Copies of this chain bind each other. A is one copy, B any other.
């Protein structure tokens, strides 16, 4: 197996304090590797970076159109949102249209990452509910599909028609037979593939014809960067910085994917140690390298060659991509 490539350095003054290694693949629509670092054949769990694939059956089944879902709904289905009111209000409304409420979700409760939402709950002595879970849009998409299929409430079971459809969509997109799945933080199965397979899937999305499920999903993400993540988050800020021309999606344990429709390219990357600070730095560096993200945009500078500030806002160091990426 090819070793992981050094990708990110964390400096404090004159000292290289920490470092991150990983694997990354840029792939074209024919499945050919355009650029790669580390091991393109590494077996990975793409976690939330696979949400746009998990949403494909919602459209191909006819469920999305039958339910009258808008691009905002589709963006939420692909989202790891931060539990702000703009996310949870929309999820609540969507559940109502299905005659369901928070109890139908199977993602579990999560304290919102959004500060206003979190502090509001704390001040009101209210525990977070499942709608606050960053995956609640994906799960409401699953419920929409389950209802359309007339399937039962335990939509996260691997044998449930919803997850069977997700696995089929995942294998079709990656062009691989999945070797299995892990249970995600939100309790849904998360299917494994090679990193090359995941980049191939993203390139398939990028080259998908207009009005296809894949095109509708990445368009929805690019149209609603605020719904895909939230204020201050990498996905939201970097998609805005690229004027919505590229869809990007983070995943837990330092996964990141990108869909470049104009270039018909897909990107998938995994930092071996699972550090988000490194995956954000690397996705920014690759997007800059491909000419779709400005190196001097504030959203880029926050993540690539970013200053590290201490409790008194004094710069103590910086985080930067290695020479191989820069």
Chain A positions near chain B (C-beta within 8 angstroms): 10, 12-15, 17-20, 43-45, 106-110, 119, 122-123, 133, 180-187, 190, 192, 253-254, 272-275, 278, 310-314, 316-317
Contacts and interface: CB of A to CB of B under 8 A. Distances in A.
Contact of A122 (B13, B109, B119): B119
Contacts of A312: 106-108, 187
B19 A316 contact: no
Nearest to A43: B15
A310 B183 contact: yes
Contact of A17 (B12, B186, B274): B274
Counting chain B CB atoms within 10 Å of each CB, which of A44, A119, A312 scores highest?
A312
Counting chain B CB atoms within 10 Å of each CB, which of A43, A183, A192 scores highest?
A183
25 contacts: A12-B183, A12-B190, A13-B180, A13-B181, A13-B183, A15-B43, A15-B180, A17-B44, A17-B45, A17-B253, A18-B254, A18-B272, A19-B272, A108-B313, A119-B122, A122-B122, A122-B123, A184-B316, A185-B310, A185-B316, A186-B310, A186-B311, A273-B278, A274-B275, A275-B275
Contacts of A13: 180-183
A24 to B, nearest CB: 15
A180 B316 contact: no
Given A12-B183, A183-B316, A273-B273, 12 more contacts: A10-B253, A10-B274, A12-B182, A13-B182, A15-B45, A15-B182, A15-B192, A18-B273, A20-B273, A108-B312, A123-B123, A185-B310
Contact of A14 (B180, B186, B187, B278): B180
Contact of A311 (B107, B181, B272, B310): B107
A182 B106 CA distance: 46
A253 B275 CA distance: 12
A135 to B, nearest CB: 8
Contacts of A182: 12-15, 17, 316-317
Contacts of A184: 310, 316
A310 to B, nearest CB: 5
A108 B311 CA distance: 5
A311 B123 contact: no
A109 B311 CA distance: 6
A312 B106 CA distance: 8
A311 B273 contact: no
Contacts of A254: 18
Nearest to A310: B185
Going nearest first, the 8 A-B pairs with the smallest beta carbon separation are A108-B311, A12-B182, A108-B312, A18-B274, A13-B182, A273-B273, A183-B316, A185-B310
B183 A311 contact: no
Counting chain B CB atoms within 10 Å of each CB, which of A13, A275, A278, A311 scores highest?
A311
A163 B118 CA distance: 40
